[in-house]
Amino acid sequence: MEIKEITLPRVAFHTLGCKLNFSETTTIARSFDASYFNKVPFESSAEIYVINTCSVTDNADRRLKGLVKKVLKQNPKGFVAAIGCYAQLQPDKIAEIDGVDLVLGASEKFKLIEYIHDLTKKDRGEIHSCEIGDVNFYESSYSLGDRTRAFLKVQDGCDYKCSYCTIPKARGISRSDTLENVIKNAQKIASSGLKEIVLTGVNIGDYGKGEFGNKKHEHTFLDLIKALDSIKLNGRIRISSIEPNLLTDNIINFVAKSKSFVPHFHIPLQSGNDKILKSMKRRYMSKLYADKITQIKNLIPHACIGSDVIVGYPGETDDDFLETYKFIKNQEISYLHVFTYSERPNTEASIMSGVVDKQTRHKRSKMLRALSIKKRRAFYESQLGKRFKVLFEGENKGGYIEGFTENYIKVRTPWNPSLVNNFYEVKLKKIDEVGYCRFTNLT
């Protein structure tokens, strides 16, 4: 009797957006048992395509449509599932996209495996979601297999009401993983051989809220980083992003002396103009932000400080923007993530007066991106001649291998696979033609 070989359905995953999304995508992917599914790259033919969506970028709909079109070229019969933030905010809109078969919101995305039964293409996407107010549970997540770094989710949701932001509507209230779970997941990551853990969440400085299903803080973010610093991980830990009003003096002081946490802070600014900050409903003014930068640099002169900034927010005049530009120029900020403001449905800012025209938004964005390039180069130049530990990543990029120092300086050297996922002490020598640092004395 002829025995037929069983062909497992192929499943491919793709993440749009942030490190938090990536940690959740890889956690969801792990629920697809290798006994029943064959995980393949997103660029290949598959029976199932999963796209974890993002609501932060202004072209979420266009990017999703482009990806759906791409995978259907790879396999016209491919079953397409859209999950995550944009799926929670606009499920009906996504369900109407030609080729989308399943739409899962915030409460259902971690149950994706339960919805993968009939892989027949649908005329309209099937929606499973709930009211965001019902999303009050916590799902632990962490990524593995991303070359050398793992993203460890410690917190989800946000209780802030920034006037331009949809994340609370996409992810719900602020809630945290238990300290015990975070430690356990960090140890799993370390045992896998990865050398860097990046702590991620929506508002990680709010860690501890909702840790055991209530609003009371059982632990704080300072408690968390102290606990992580006390265990043996054979690597280093990076804080992804933390609000300036939650970056306490004690946190800065602790990182300055830590054996595991690296001298790199990413602190959202959004505007250097206090009028705009008030309109955005941010929880600080520019002076507090400047004070944080000063304290960090006084304690850790070689620290890298990144920042987010939004340009073209409603009511931002030329003078307001120039004040932001000058504020950033005068601060020891190392690089910027520049976001051109775009209207989000159902946000307070979307109906405000004083709309800035698209051309002006683009011009301001271009100016700040140019400033960011100058800032990064100045920071790199200030670190030349100093010694750092580089962790090399595992991708051959045009004949080069790249890596990051503890203070987030990007270096490269000719490709050598033996360097991958290893620490090497280097002395920074010069900045090359594409803006990377080169080094001597690889040890």
User: pLDDT value at position 132?
Assistant: 87
Read off the pLDDT of each residue in 232-248 and give the average, rounded to a whole number. Answer: 95
User: pLDDT value at position 211?
Assistant: 86
Read off the pLDDT of each residue in 12-38 and give the average, rounded to a whole number. Answer: 91
CB atoms within 10 A of CB 341: 20
User: pLDDT value at position 411?
Assistant: 97
Lowest-confidence segment of 52-61, 371-380, 427-436 by average pLDDT: 52-61
Confidence of residue 3 (pLDDT cuts 50, 70, 90): very low
User: pLDDT value at position 35?
Assistant: 81
pLDDT in tens, 72-86: 999 999 999 999 999
> Residue 419 and residue 11: Cα distance in Å, rounded?
31
Which 8-state DSSP code applies to residue 243?
Answer: -
Half-sphere exposure at residue 310, Cβ-oriented, CA atoms within 13 angstroms:
24
DSSP for 77-101, please give it.
T-EEEEEEHHHHH-HHHHHTSTTEE
> Residue 115 and residue 113: Cα distance in Å, rounded?
5
Q: Which residues contact 424 (CB under 8 A, 6 or more apart)?
A: 389, 390, 392, 442, 443
Who wins on pLDDT, 61 or 268? 268
Confidence of residue 148 (pLDDT cuts 50, 70, 90): confident
Instruction: Report all structural domains of the chain as residue ranges with CATH numbers, in order of start.
Output: 10-130 (3.40.50.12160), 136-262 (3.30.750.210), 276-378 (3.30.750.200), 387-440 (2.40.50)
Q: Which of 36, 35, 34, 44 has its CA nearest to residue 13? A: 44
User: pLDDT value at position 191?
Assistant: 93
Read off the pLDDT of each residue in 19-42 and give the average, rounded to a whole number. Answer: 92
Confidence of residue 147 (pLDDT cuts 50, 70, 90): low
DSSP for 290-320, please give it.
HHHHHHHHHH-TT-EEEEEEEES-TT--HHH
User: pLDDT value at position 189?
Assistant: 94
What's the burial of 394, exposed, middle or buried (CB within 10 Å: 0-12/13-18/19+)?
middle
> Residue 337 and residue 43: Cα distance in Å, rounded?
28
Confidence of residue 57 (pLDDT cuts 50, 70, 90): low
Residue 34 has pLDDT above 90, yes or no: no
User: pLDDT value at position 1?
Assistant: 47
Instruction: Give how far the C-alpha of residue 109 lies from the chain's centroid of Cα atoms, to the nearest Å.
Output: 18
Residue 111 has pLDDT above 70, yes or no: yes
> What is the distance in angstroms between the CA of the first residue and the CA of the last residue of the chain?
61
> Residue 224 and residue 220: Cα distance in Å, rounded?
6
Residue 5 has pLDDT above 60, yes or no: no
pLDDT in tens, 321-339: 999 999 999 999 999 999 9
> Residue 336 and residue 320: Cα distance in Å, rounded?
18
